[in-house]
Amino acid sequence: MTQTTNALQTLDTPAVLVDLDVVRRNIARFQSYADQIGMAVRPHIKTHKLPQIALMQLEAGAVGITCQKISEAEAMVAADSRLSDVLITYNILGAEKLAHLRDLAGRVRLTVVADNAVVIDGLSAAFADATAPLRVLVECNTGADRCGVATPQEAAALACRIAGAPGLQFQGLMTYPPANGAAAVQAFMTQAKALIEASGLTVTVVSSGGTPSMMQAGDAPVATEYRPGTYAYNDRSLVARGACDWDDCALTVLATVVSVPSANRAIIDAGSKALTSDLLGLTGYGHVLGRPDIVIDQLSEEHGRLISSGPIRLAVGDKLRIVPNHACVVSNLFDVVQVLEAGVAVATWPVVARGKVT
């Protein structure tokens, strides 16, 4: 056991550890690639929900941040005024949300998305008498089959609707592509852009995203910006896809062995309230660093069950570091994270954008 590991023995568990050295390296790696291909970076803060890391991303060269919900954006902006350029990649609806959006637009350079006329008309009604128009991107479905218009023709029709709507300014196109979706993005966006430009509008921004395929972002050069999220932390799902290695995983859950009830089974104090039930197609609920023989085969809310193919070789009181399947959802479960520098816990940061669902 190393000195570094010993320094973590005194932390109460379960705890989320964020290794800032790894975060910096992860941020620098993608920024360098994006700089090389001439694409702007607008990281999604859902992964860390921390203004401190958003600032590290801006300092590395990011043009702004991406949030999924208004309440997330409000929390980030309130925490640091340098977070002043925000894209919210979500259809925003309803009086309460629109009032918050209008308020936020007065404080930062704000862009939102829409994939249907109801959302566009709601945004327009809310911003019709605003001092400055709200920038709107049309969300396009390039194969992920979540939100987004289905065809370039529909994208062009919504672009015109936005351009003609009081209080709104058509800004471009946005998509959350499927894995390995660069070719689909390139095809859809090129056609949509041509149709829209033929109508006399300018497509200033074409925004794509997704960590799994981010190092192939250059294969869709129609995009002007990219929104990676998980890349700042990485996780077991990305190791499984070959996108990174365990050493690139900045977020780990520190857990304590609370019971060793049989020769090949141990129980830790990290269950679904710490690791979440996200499987992302994997078997088991996380990777115990240094113990590839162990599968976390079952979670209840406060218990994680570890099964080894051989003897479990763990004792009650042992501490383990676990790379979760999905880092972003873990960030949403903890009020604070423990920040490591050179392997030593140096600070406790509140997760200011945790639990922001609206």
C-beta of residue 14 within 8 angstroms of C-beta of residue 294:
no
Region from 20-28, 33-41, 162-170, 324-332 binding a copy of itself, contact rule CB under 8 A: 324-332
CB 165 within 8 A of CB 124: yes
Does residue 262 interact with a copy of itself by CB under 8 A? yes
**Stretch 196-215 residues interacting with a copy of itself (CB under 8 A):** none
Using CB under 8 A as the binding criterion, the count of chain residues that bind a copy of itself stands at 59
Residue 218 one-letter amino acid:
G
Residue 14 interacting with a copy of itself (CB under 8 A): yes
Q: Which of 28, 37, 132, 150 binds a copy of itself (CB under 8 A)?
A: 150
Interface region with a copy of itself, contact rule CB under 8 A, candidates 34-42, 165-173, 243-251, 297-305: 297-305
Name residues contacting a copy of itself, limited to 304-323 (CB under 8 A).
Answer: 305, 315-317
Of 180, 327, 319, nearest to 239 (Cα)?
327
Considering only 60, 77, 108, 147, the residue that binds a copy of itself (CB under 8 A) is 147
What Cα–Cα distance (Å) separates residue 11 from each residue in 144, 287, 329, 339?
Answer: 40, 20, 22, 12
Which residues have a Cβ under 8 Å from the Cβ of 15 and sit 6 or more positions away?
Answer: 253, 254, 334, 337, 338
Nearest to 337 by CA among 351, 356, 358: 351
Q: Could you tell me the smallest distance in angstroms from the CB atom of residue 69 to a copy of itself?
A: 6
Question: Could you say which of 7, 79, 93, 240 contacts a copy of itself (CB under 8 A)?
Answer: 93
Q: In Å, what is the CA distance from 283 to each residue of 231, 249, 265, 324?
A: 22, 18, 17, 12
Q: Which residues pair with 110 in a beta bridge?
A: 86
In this complex, which beta carbon is closest to a copy of itself, that of residue 34 or of residue 231?
A: 231
Task: Determine which residue in the list 218, 221, 332, 350 makes contact with a copy of itself, applying CB under 8 A.
Answer: 332
Please tell me whether residue 278 binds a copy of itself under the rule CB under 8 A: yes
Angle at 296 between CA 285 and CA 283, to 5 degrees: 55
Q: Which of 8, 13, 231, 324 binds a copy of itself (CB under 8 A)?
A: 13
- With contact defined as beta carbons under 8 Å apart, do 154 and 139 qualify? no
> Which structure tokens are listed for 330?
């873990």
Pick one of 32, 202, 283, 300: the residue that binds a copy of itself (CB under 8 A): 300
Binding residues for a copy of itself, rule: CB under 8 A, are 10, 12-14, 46, 68-69, 90-91, 93-97, 115-116, 118-119, 141, 145-150, 256, 258-262, 265, 267, 269, 272-274, 276-279, 298, 300-303, 305, 315-317, 328-329, 332-335, 355, 357-358
